[in-house]
Chains A and B, each alone.
Chain A
Amino acid sequence: MAKMEKMGKFIYKGTAYSLDEGGFLSDFNSWDENFAEGMAPEYKILDGLTKDHWDVIYFIRGYINENGRCPLVYKTCKENKLSYKNLKELFQTGYLRGACRLAGVSYNEEYLGVALPTLDKITAQEVIYDKKYVMDVHGFLVYADDWDENFAIHKAYEIKMPGSGLDERHWQIVSYLRRHYQRYKTVPTIYDACEANEIDLDELEELFPDGYQRGAVKIAGLRAM
């Protein structure tokens, strides 16, 4: 009845669902209950989905609709009052590799995606998931040319910058650093950066609390040495 095809399609009850290379639903919005029902046996749920399964699935979907990002396993368990052993009974192949897949989470968008505020969406180039970035052990890009806006957005997210992503003031500094580097092949001093952007240390600290080099310069894909 259910059928997985090589082309990354899953067909169930007359509906074809497009999957990504890892078997995740490609488009979160193309999900319906039939998808979950049809997919369940793939994840070793052989006796059908129970209310407990649906509670978890709908919790994950609801959270994503609100936050643009897949809830952490901790959150899902807490909100549904499940221990990991309970979760294991429900989704024995895993949280990401079971519950999230049945909930139609796409790996790149909702699972690992960064919930981007509007401005980031405008600024960001399309994410190239296969792209590789070479970094040193401190997390600085080795080749300044590898940099793109997506790198900046994700790096800011990873180092837990305050607020909800990079806003226009962050981008102003980051663009300034990039332009300066392209022109002079050096990283400007913090003094130059402050003067050129008419910004004081307090404000820079608010924007980049990790520091000038360790925050702003790092997100701009540069390093002073």
Chain B
Amino acid sequence: MVNFSFKDKTYEVDEYNFLLDFHSWDEDFAQGIATRLKMTERLTKEHWDVINSIRNTFKETGRCPIVYEVCRMNGLNRWELKALFPTGYLRGACKIAGITYKEGYLGQTYLPVSADDVNIVTANKSYQVDVRGFLVNPDDWDEYYAAHRAYDMKIPGGKLTGKHWQIIKFLRDSYARNKTIPTIYETCDQNSIDLDELEKLFPDGYHRGAVKIAGLRAR
């Protein structure tokens, strides 16, 4: 953890000068980081429009908007964005706006547990996967892993619901007990769920969806 100071104020940032806590952002931070990024003039209305659209989208959706969305919202093409934020979208606009897609990926509601420490927990953790994206060692698994895989795989609704977690937990518990993955029949029986419902939850399949997100693989 590093401190970034500007105008007698101190902000906690990561090693790349990204603000650690979205809520500790203020306009002075934005101006201070902009100066650090060699944007020597004061931030203009055009800058603030972009910054505010990033922050507002994040507040509303819990997700850092994609560069395309921000350009559309502000009627900017890439040359105009470049003129405003020459160091990049993520490494310029988002950084100044006090967020990154790292924390912006998933709001707290995506997790079954408090996500207060999600950035700290996940900042340095890594996971070994095979070429298909299956976790190699089931013990590496955690809820953050599941939530992010589900998001990456574009699970309907973009997040794991209580139903998803029920299935995932069942798979994890069965595996921990028996060292095998239950068949789809057992999973349906034990969770009183039919194939239609399972498909809605995990449209990528049983092994290729549910089992994968649970950090297991069939062999």
User: Could you tell me if A138 and B102 are in contact, using CB atoms closer than 8 angstroms?
Assistant: yes
* Chain A 106-138 per-residue mask, 1 if CB under 8 angstroms from chain B, else 0: 010000100000000000000111111111111
Chain A min CB distance to B38 (Å): 14
Residue A18 CB within 8 A of the other chain: no
Residue B114 CB within 8 A of the other chain: no
User: Could you tell me if A139 and B148 are in contact, using CB atoms closer than 8 angstroms?
Assistant: yes
User: Could you tell me if B78 and A194 are in contact, using CB atoms closer than 8 angstroms?
Assistant: yes
A-B contact sample (19 more), CB < 8 A, given A74-B203, A95-B183, A191-B86: A22-B218, A72-B199, A74-B199, A96-B207, A97-B218, A129-B131, A131-B130, A133-B128, A133-B129, A138-B102, A139-B152, A159-B152, A189-B88, A189-B89, A191-B78, A212-B89, A224-B91, A225-B18, A225-B102
Residues of A near any B CB (own CB < 8 A): 21-22, 72-74, 77, 83-85, 87-88, 92-97, 107, 112, 127-139, 142, 150-151, 154-155, 158-160, 189-191, 194, 200-201, 204-205, 209-214, 224-225
Q: In the complex, which residues of chain A have a beta carbon less than 8 angstroms from the beta carbon of B77?
A: 200-201
Contact of B149 among A94, A95, A97, A139 (CB under 8 A): A139
User: Could you tell me if B152 and A205 are in contact, using CB atoms closer than 8 angstroms?
Assistant: no
Residue B49 CB within 8 A of the other chain: no
Query: In the complex, A158 Cα to B204 Cα: how many Å?
Result: 9
- Do A88 and B218 contact each other (CB < 8 Å), given the known contacts A72-B208, A160-B153? no
- Nearest residue (CB) in A for B127 is A135
* Partner-contacting stretch, out of B19-27, B64-72, B169-177: B64-72
Contact of A132 among B88, B129, B206 (CB under 8 A): B129
User: Could you tell me if B68 and A136 are in contact, using CB atoms closer than 8 angstroms?
Assistant: no
Residue B46 CB within 8 A of the other chain: no
Contact of A142 among B81, B91, B126, B152 (CB under 8 A): B126
Q: In the complex, which residues of chain B have a beta carbon less than 8 angstroms from the beta carbon of A190?
A: 67, 78, 88-89
Chain A min CB distance to B39 (Å): 14
Query: In the complex, A186 Cα to B46 Cα: how many Å?
Result: 28
Residues of B near any A CB (own CB < 8 A): 14, 16, 18, 66-68, 71, 77-78, 81-82, 86-91, 100-102, 105, 122, 125-133, 136, 144-145, 148-149, 152-154, 183-185, 188, 194-196, 198-199, 203-208, 218-219
User: Could you tell me if A84 and B205 are in contact, using CB atoms closer than 8 angstroms?
Assistant: no
Q: In the complex, which residues of chain B have a beta carbon less than 8 angstroms from the beta carbon of A83?
A: 194-195
Q: In the complex, which residues of chain B have a beta carbon less than 8 angstroms from the beta carbon of A128?
A: 131
- Do A88 and B154 contact each other (CB < 8 Å), given the known contacts A77-B195, A154-B133, A201-B77? no
- Nearest residue (CB) in B for A160 is B154
Q: In the complex, which residues of chain A have a beta carbon less than 8 angstroms from the beta carbon of B136?
A: 132
User: Could you tell me if A94 and B88 are in contact, using CB atoms closer than 8 angstroms?
Assistant: no
Chain B min CB distance to A120 (Å): 13
User: Could you tell me if B205 and A211 are in contact, using CB atoms closer than 8 angstroms?
Assistant: no
Q: In the complex, which residues of chain B have a beta carbon less than 8 angstroms from the beta carbon of A21?
A: 219
Q: In the complex, which residues of chain B have a beta carbon less than 8 angstroms from the beta carbon of A96?
A: 206-207, 218
> 30 A–B contact pairs at CB < 8 A?
A22-B218, A22-B219, A84-B185, A84-B188, A84-B194, A85-B185, A87-B185, A92-B183, A97-B183, A112-B208, A129-B130, A132-B129, A133-B128, A134-B126, A134-B128, A135-B129, A137-B127, A139-B148, A158-B153, A159-B152, A189-B91, A190-B88, A201-B68, A209-B68, A210-B66, A211-B67, A211-B68, A225-B18, A225-B100, A225-B102
